[in-house]
A and B are shown apart, each in its own frame.
Chain A
Amino acid sequence: MPEKIIESFQIRRLDILNEKGEANGPLMPALSDDLIKKMYELFILLRTFDRYALNLHAEGRIGTYASVLGQEASQVGSALAIEKSDWIFPSFRESGVYLSMGYPPRMLLQYWSGDERGSRVPDDLNIFPVCVPVGTQIPHAVGAAAAAKYKGDKIAVVSYFGDGGTSKGDFHEGLNMAGVMKLPVVFICQNNHWAISVPLKQQTASKTIAQKAYAYGFDGIQVDGNDVFAVYKATKEAVDKARQGGGPTFIECVTYRMSDHTTADDAKRYRSQEEVDAWKSKDPLLRLKLFMEKKGLWSEQYGKEIEEKTKEIIEKEVREKESTKDPDPKDMFTYTYTNLTLRQMKQMKEVES
């Protein structure tokens, strides 16, 4: 018997907004001017938040922080396509997702300064606290999606992770289960090319990360992760499909981490300045601004107003965060179990005295 090809696959790549700020008309999603401006304003919010967080760290006023500089389009674009009733399981570099969903900036700063009260997600948001172990949040999203399907809730569950996360066993276990059970879950990989110091080519030998979805029996798509319209469109289609019972989708957002991995890292040790400079021209903010200018949605005055307004917001949030009293040591005990154990009660008394 001759050998034959029994399977082959293709991976779609979506690009809408190019570096000159020109949008591909037929692919462009129907977005209101207000939504486009919201995207821009969130970009500015995120960039300002990031800058302040890095400064606060440099001044010793918050602890380790993971910058999102360069990944704004992946985060804002996807988050704006998610409904408030949907559930989100992020990793630790999703400040942009939190802020886009309406998470108070002061609480994020509180979290990064080691005050766990910053992790108390507001009751009207279904976003999980920061997940530090890499990739382990993926099965949680799968389980929540299974629960939503069982209960008949028409929601989507979204899991965020980086390229490093796709090397973990939980990535495989989660995606495999989601495929088998055809669950309403959207996996968003922000391929930012570096897992601390390990580059993408040492992370995976596959040509794209999106193609991994093929092995699990559902769609994978690669998008330009610095193109907010492409990310929005792909995410919107995926969450709509999930809600309609169409099963999981995998989205690879090809982007770049412009900063160090965290404030505890120095990326100059392992990557070249040429590489970083090459990505500067792909800046997601710059191309959105150019697009808006062409459409008459951006002017010097508007830009200035937004920057000033945002700066005021963040400064107020920083002040509020800084005027928050330290947590009561008893807080350590309060949330381990629903009720304190006898031993915890004794230990808590020791702390009180």
Chain B
Amino acid sequence: MPVLNMVQAINLALKEEMQRDDSVVILGEDVGKDGGVFRVTEGLYDRFGAQRIIDTPLAESGIVGAAIGMAVYGLKPVAEIQFMGFIYPALDQILSHASRVRARSRGRFSCPLVIRTPYGIGIKAPEHHEESTEALFCHTPGVKVVVPSTPYNAKGLLMSSIRDPDPVIFLEAARLYRMIKEEVPEGEYTIPLGQARIAREGSSVTIIAWGSMLHRTLQAAEGYDAEVIDMMTLSPFDEETIYNSVKKTGRVVIVHEAPKTCGFGAELSASIAEDAMLYLRAPVMRVTAYDVVMPTAKLEDYYTPDVSRIRKAVEEILKY
């Protein structure tokens, strides 16, 4: 079984889905001959040609808008937005249209597209290259939000996302692209959307994370009897896995690299308070980035949760 990093695993998922289904096409900036700025689409242009790997003009709203038109006409477009910080011009298309095609047309048309975008810290890039604005999309009914944390999961989740009949925002932690390798089988396997996984079992505290924060969280959990949940899909999210863990541990720490206010941690925290409060032995704690404009390289490590901040929260919550 090949040992692949995240970039290679995603590339493999795209290649296999394109082989399987002629209606899958890729569009975006530099996705063709260049193979994408992170090389995620490398080799696909040579294999599938300019008809299916479409280098578009530089136009985020146009890319997503055109992908919507392709999807409603019967293709399965996978649009790449080069960095999540560049997705703002396309928000109108995602929020006003992709999420509403099915509802607005009362089921006559659907919009089976995937928008892939690298997100998050760790690549020491200029402004607008390291944002983590998943909550914007989780607050939008009609789109699904998927965040893989390992190469194996990335492939299985991307295959499910491409086959999903609804629009999926697929977030790839840029920091993880080449950080970890693992065995990734060739050929078809899917991981269902909407399911979390227990990345580490434990019984004294539940720590919830996703994407690149999962790996810091696993590191921070060492030495504790901590259960770590990898969300994998943020919208719709897996309430059952979370509540079952809360019942077991009674303590919850949520870790994310987006700012605290109205981040997805707020949703999880409120949901646990509503539905599992009687199992809690301590307040739900959030370890997040600060409520500031995403800083560039020199300060990004201060901005984002690190192992010591996560451990501090765990120590704090264990005192209750």
Q: Which residues of A line the B interface, CB within 8 A?
A: 87, 89, 116-117, 119-121, 123, 128-129, 133, 136, 138-148, 150-151, 157, 169-170, 172-174, 176-177, 180-181, 334-338, 341-343
Digit string of B204-241 for contact with A (CB within 8 Å is 1, else 0)? 00000000000000000000000000000000100110
Q: Which residues of B line the A interface, CB within 8 A?
A: 25, 51-52, 54, 56-57, 59, 61-62, 64-75, 77, 89, 92-93, 96-97, 102-110, 141-142, 144, 164-166, 194, 236, 239-240
Are A87's CB and B73's CB within 8 A?
A: yes
Name the contact of A147 in the complex, choosing from B73, B93, B109, B166 (C-beta under 8 A): B73
Given contacts A120-B108, A129-B105, A336-B103, contact A144 B65 (CB under 8 A): no
> Which has the most chain A C-beta neighbours within 10 Å: B72, B106, B142, B239?
B106
Q: Which residues of B contact A157 (CB under 8 A)?
A: 69
Are B69's CB and A144's CB within 8 A?
A: yes
Q: A-side binding surface: helix, strand, loop or mixed?
A: helix
Are A120's CB and B106's CB within 8 A?
A: yes
Q: How far is the CB of B241 from chain A (nearest CB, A)?
A: 12
A335–B70 Cα distance when bound, in Å, is 20
A61–B12 Cα distance when bound, in Å, is 56
Q: Which residues of B contact A145 (CB under 8 A)?
A: 69
> Which has the most chain B C-beta neighbours within 10 Å: A148, A334, A335, A343?
A335
Are B66's CB and A143's CB within 8 A?
A: yes
Q: Which residues of B contact A123 (CB under 8 A)?
A: 108
Are B59's CB and A173's CB within 8 A?
A: yes
CB-defined A-B contacts under 8 Å, sample of 25: A89-B69, A119-B105, A120-B108, A128-B105, A129-B104, A129-B105, A133-B97, A139-B62, A139-B93, A140-B66, A140-B68, A140-B97, A142-B69, A143-B67, A144-B72, A146-B66, A148-B73, A150-B25, A151-B73, A172-B59, A173-B59, A174-B66, A181-B54, A336-B103, A343-B236
Q: Which residue of A lies closest to B66 (CB)?
A: A143
Q: Which residues of A contact B103 (CB under 8 A)?
A: 116, 335-336
A173–B65 Cα distance when bound, in Å, is 9
Are B107's CB and A334's CB within 8 A?
A: yes
Given contacts A87-B73, A146-B70, contact A138 B102 (CB under 8 A): no
Are B62's CB and A120's CB within 8 A?
A: no
Given contacts A143-B65, A173-B59, contact A117 B89 (CB under 8 A): no
Given contacts A143-B65, A341-B236, contact A120 B96 (CB under 8 A): no
Name the contact of B89 in the complex, choosing from A120, A169, A335 (C-beta under 8 A): A169
Q: A128-B109, A150-B75 are in contact. List 19 more A-B contacts (CB 8 A).
A: A120-B108, A123-B108, A133-B97, A136-B65, A136-B96, A142-B65, A144-B69, A144-B73, A146-B54, A148-B73, A170-B62, A170-B65, A173-B61, A176-B57, A176-B62, A177-B62, A336-B102, A341-B194, A342-B239
Are B68's CB and A139's CB within 8 A?
A: yes
Q: Which residues of A contact B57 (CB under 8 A)?
A: 173, 176-177, 180
A335–B100 Cα distance when bound, in Å, is 9
> Which has the most chain B C-beta neighbours within 10 Å: A120, A140, A181?
A140
Q: B-side binding surface: helix, strand, loop or mixed?
A: mixed
Name the contact of A116 in the complex, choosing from B51, B52, B106, B109 (C-beta under 8 A): B106
Ranked 6 nearest A-B pairs via Cβ: A143-B69, A139-B65, A173-B62, A143-B66, A147-B73, A341-B236
Q: Which residues of A contact B97 (CB under 8 A)?
A: 133, 136, 140
Q: Which residues of B contact A336 (CB under 8 A)?
A: 102-103, 141-142
Q: How far is the CB of A150 from chain B (nearest CB, A)?
A: 6
Q: How far is the CB of B27 from chain A (nearest CB, A)?
A: 8
Q: Which residue of A lies closest to B142 (CB)?
A: A336
Are A151's CB and B74's CB within 8 A?
A: yes
A342–B275 Cα distance when bound, in Å, is 14
Q: How far is the CB of A39 from chain B (nearest CB, A)?
A: 28
Q: Which residues of A contact B73 (CB under 8 A)?
A: 87, 143-144, 147-148, 151
Q: How far is the CB of A111 from chain B (nearest CB, A)?
A: 10
